[in-house]
């Protein structure tokens, strides 16, 4: 292992799991296809970093890649020797460990080292992050006297962005952890020099960050794995595993189960769809005209619209199918960049849903939260939005409490339920196929429109519209299928 194979991010990976560190160095992931949600995360970090620098102005920026590490180290040295008072991304390497410091300020009493985070609080991993920076910067000869984490302030409200950040003094904790860095680095080097370590999977695979090698260590769960049982407590799961059970189908008859879990067991044993006789009554309450509604939101780290806090979710798009008997119409709205998106969105929504007796959503607490947030932001429409909110009905619990198919694999998300119940349905033919990607793209479309050419913008808007439309069309298809199932028009045979 070359001496320079450790960096700050690898050090943090190694603290999470030795095997993760080993994979990152010896068997890294092939570069996967572009992931808009991940790109959005980087872009968010970059923008928050820029905002932070504006609050500590006049510094020397040590440019990152494509500049080589050597160039960055030299530029840092040159800036220090020239007496720079503030450095952005100052780079140091000691004993083969490379770090770049977000903000480095020369104060009368000594250097102040600051890590900028697009988070709302100081987290455990931030403290390890600054500790390794402190360790390396000190060894590089810097007299660091104070260590801070500069993070977003949840009390900030747009447009008062002068309160966007808080700076927390974490010197004491950073010092304490820095004392352990040397030993930990030695341990990590030994790990890297050896064979792949054996590490059991556990909560550390998702904390403090989801490990990128999850699929290598976790074999895909079988449809009848005990974990698919709805709300099975981890205590009961552990007890069953201790008694040697692995599959839902092996459970003894006397094992206590909820009605829903019993339906799951029956479905998995018979390997077919199981429908509760109460489904018809539950569906009878869904009187037409029905508006099938779905929102998409963005939650920018740096708030962009009046009254918004960092990471506040703002609805910027919706799709709505309105059905009355055989008549069906589709309405949609997608915000334009620039102005506050909320009022035009609400006006169009109120018009589209005016005649609906009920407003159907899947996992309706999300739509309810959107309507509540809109009512708060737009008091002039609050009354109508509250009336709309009272008409909301959730389709998810109707499915969950009456239907189970082995292919649900324990999930009642519409993206798992629909393809199991309706052949050739789903999202595979779309460019945008999940909510996280849609949200990431919406944020860039609305807040960084200059990134896209007009052709790319038009395509992106079409892709986003198709995705949101599919979400409400999925509910229309699902409800039709549920009605068929309730009226016995189906053989109930699993695919």
Distance (Å) of CA 454 to CA 129, 217, 333, 340:
41, 43, 19, 21
Pairing of strands 403-404, 274-275: antiparallel
Residue 17 as a binder of ligand SF4 (CB under 6 A): the answer is yes
Residue 112 as a binder of ligand SF4 (CB under 6 A): the answer is no
Cα–Cα distance, 159 to 150 (Å, whole number): 20
Footprint of ligand SF4 on 252-291 (CB under 6 A): none
- Supply the DSSP string of 211-260, one letter for each residue: -TTHHHHSPPPPTTBGGGSTT--HHHHHHHHHTT--BGGG--TTS---HH
- Chain centroid to Cα 275, Å, comes to 33
Query: Could you tell me which stretch among 11-19, 221-229, 407-415, 480-488 binds ligand SF4 (CB under 6 A)?
Result: 11-19
Q: 204 or 272: whose CB is closer to ligand SF4?
A: 204
Q: 20 or 72: whose CB is closer to ligand SF4?
A: 20
The site string for ligand SF4 over 18-57 (x = CB under 6 A, - otherwise) reads: -xx--x----------------------------------
Q: 16 or 353: whose CB is closer to ligand SF4?
A: 16
Residue 396 as a binder of ligand SF4 (CB under 6 A): the answer is no
DSSP alpha helix (H) spans, 401-434: 414-421
Q: 7 or 319: whose CB is closer to ligand SF4?
A: 7
Q: 61 or 214: whose CB is closer to ligand SF4?
A: 214
- The nearest distance, CB 23 to ligand SF4, in angstroms, is 6
φ and ψ at 465, to 5 degrees? -65, -40
Question: Between 8-16 and 18-26, two packed helices, what is the crossing angle to 10 degrees?
Answer: 140
- The nearest distance, CB 486 to ligand SF4, in angstroms, is 42
- The nearest distance, CB 19 to ligand SF4, in angstroms, is 4
Q: 201 or 407: whose CB is closer to ligand SF4?
A: 201
- The nearest distance, CB 205 to ligand SF4, in angstroms, is 3
| Burial group, residue 182, by CB count within 10 angstroms (0-12, 13-18, 19+) | exposed
Site size with ligand SF4, rule: CB under 6 A:
13
Footprint of ligand SF4 on 186-225 (CB under 6 A): 199, 201, 204-205, 211, 213-214, 217
Residue 61 as a binder of ligand SF4 (CB under 6 A): the answer is no
Q: 205 or 371: whose CB is closer to ligand SF4?
A: 205
Q: What is the 3-state secondary structure (H, E, C) of 271-330?
A: CCCEECCCHHHHHHCCCCCEEEEEEEEECCCCCCCCCCCCCCCEEEEEEEEEEECCEEEE
CB distance 280 to 296 below 8 Å: no
Tokens for 218, please give them: 């976790």
The site string for ligand SF4 over 430-469 (x = CB under 6 A, - otherwise) reads: ----------------------------------------
Cα–Cα distance, 245 to 299 (Å, whole number): 43
B/e letters for 239-277, b = 16+ CB within 10 Å, e = fewer, are: ebeeeebeebeebeeeeebeebbebbbebbbeebbbbbe
Q: 18 or 353: whose CB is closer to ligand SF4?
A: 18
Residue 12 as a binder of ligand SF4 (CB under 6 A): the answer is no
Q: 211 or 478: whose CB is closer to ligand SF4?
A: 211
Residue 8 as a binder of ligand SF4 (CB under 6 A): the answer is no
Query: Could you tell me which stretch among 12-20, 258-266, 267-275, 385-393 binds ligand SF4 (CB under 6 A)?
Result: 12-20
- The nearest distance, CB 123 to ligand SF4, in angstroms, is 17
B/e letters for 217-230, b = 16+ CB within 10 Å, e = fewer, are: beeeeebbbbebbb
C-alpha gyration radius of the chain: 27
φ and ψ at 450, to 5 degrees? -65, -15
In the chain, what is the straight-line distance between the N-terminal and C-terminal CA atoms, in Å?
A: 51
H/E segment holding residue 352:
helix 342-352
Cα–Cα distance, 112 to 423 (Å, whole number): 61
Residue 392 as a binder of ligand SF4 (CB under 6 A): the answer is no
Residue 339 as a binder of ligand SF4 (CB under 6 A): the answer is no
Tokens for 428, please give them: 């595979």
Q: 216 or 376: whose CB is closer to ligand SF4?
A: 216
In the chain, how many H helices and how many E strands? 17, 14
The site string for ligand SF4 over 360-389 (x = CB under 6 A, - otherwise) reads: ------------------------------
- The nearest distance, CB 201 to ligand SF4, in angstroms, is 5
- The nearest distance, CB 386 to ligand SF4, in angstroms, is 45
Q: 23 or 467: whose CB is closer to ligand SF4?
A: 23
Residue 476 as a binder of ligand SF4 (CB under 6 A): the answer is no
Q: Which residues of the chain form contacts with ligand SF4 (CB under 6 A)? A: 16-17, 19-20, 23, 199, 201, 204-205, 211, 213-214, 217
């Amino acid at each position: 292992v070359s001496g320079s194979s450790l960096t700050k991010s690898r050090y943090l990976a190694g603290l999470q799991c030795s095997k993760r560190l080993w994979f990152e160095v010896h068997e890294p992931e092939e570069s996967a296809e572009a992931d808009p949600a991940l790109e959005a995360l980087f872009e968010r970090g970059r923008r928050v970093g820029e905002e932070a620098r504006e609050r500590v102005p006049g510094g020397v920026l040590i440019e990152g890649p494509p500049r080589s590490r050597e160039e960055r180290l030299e530029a840092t040295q040159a800036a220090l020797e020239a007496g720079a008072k503030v450095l952005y991304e100052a780079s140091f390497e000691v004993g083969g460990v490379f770090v770049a410091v977000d903000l480095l300020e020369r104060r009368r009493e000594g250097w102040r080292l600051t890590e900028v985070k697009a988070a709302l609080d100081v987290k455990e991993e931030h403290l390890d992050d600054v500790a390794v920076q402190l360790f390396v910067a000190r060894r590089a000869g810097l007299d660091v006297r104070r260590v801070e984490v500069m993070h977003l302030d949840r009390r900030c409200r747009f447009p008062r962005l002068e309160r966007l950040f808080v700076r927390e003094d974490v010197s004491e904790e950073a010092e304490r952890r820095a004392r352990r860095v040397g030993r930990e680095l030695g341990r990590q080097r030994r790990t890297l020099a050896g064979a792949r370590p054996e590490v059991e999977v556990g909560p550390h695979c998702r904390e403090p960050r989801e490990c990128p090698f999850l699929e290598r260590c976790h074999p895909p769960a079988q449809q009848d794995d005990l974990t698919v049982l709805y709300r099975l407590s981890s205590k009961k799961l552990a007890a069953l595993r201790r008694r040697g059970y692995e599959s839902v189908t092996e459970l003894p008859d006397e094992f206590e189960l909820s009605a829903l879990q019993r339906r799951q067991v029956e479905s998995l044993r018979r390997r077919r769809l199981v429908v509760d006789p109460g489904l018809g009554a539950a569906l009878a309450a869904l009187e037409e005209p029905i508006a099938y509604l779905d929102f998409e939101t963005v939650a920018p780290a740096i708030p962009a619209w009046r009254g918004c806090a960092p990471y506040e979710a703002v609805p910027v798009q919706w799709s709505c199918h309105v059905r009355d008997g055989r008549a069906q119409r589709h309405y949609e709205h997608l915000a334009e960049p620039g102005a506050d998106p909320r009022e035009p969105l609400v006006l169009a929504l109120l018009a589209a849903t005016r005649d609906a007796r009920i407003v159907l959503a899947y996992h309706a607490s999300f739509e309810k939260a959107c309507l509540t947030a809109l009512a708060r932001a737009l008091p002039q429409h609050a009354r109508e939005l509250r009336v709309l909110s009272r008409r909301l009905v959730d389709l998810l619990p109707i499915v969950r409490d009456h239907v189970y198919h082995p292919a649900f694999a324990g999930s009642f998300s519409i993206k798992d339920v629909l393809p199991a119940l309706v052949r050739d349905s789903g999202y595979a033919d779309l460019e945008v196929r999940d909510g996280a990607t849609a949200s990431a793209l919406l944020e860039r479309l609305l807040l960084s429109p200059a990134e896209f050419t007009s052709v790319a913008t038009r395509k992106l808007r079409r892709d986003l519209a198709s995705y949101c439309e599919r979400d409400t069309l999925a509910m229309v298809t699902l409800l039709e299928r549920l009605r068929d199932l309730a009226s016995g028009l189906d053989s109930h045979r699993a695919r």
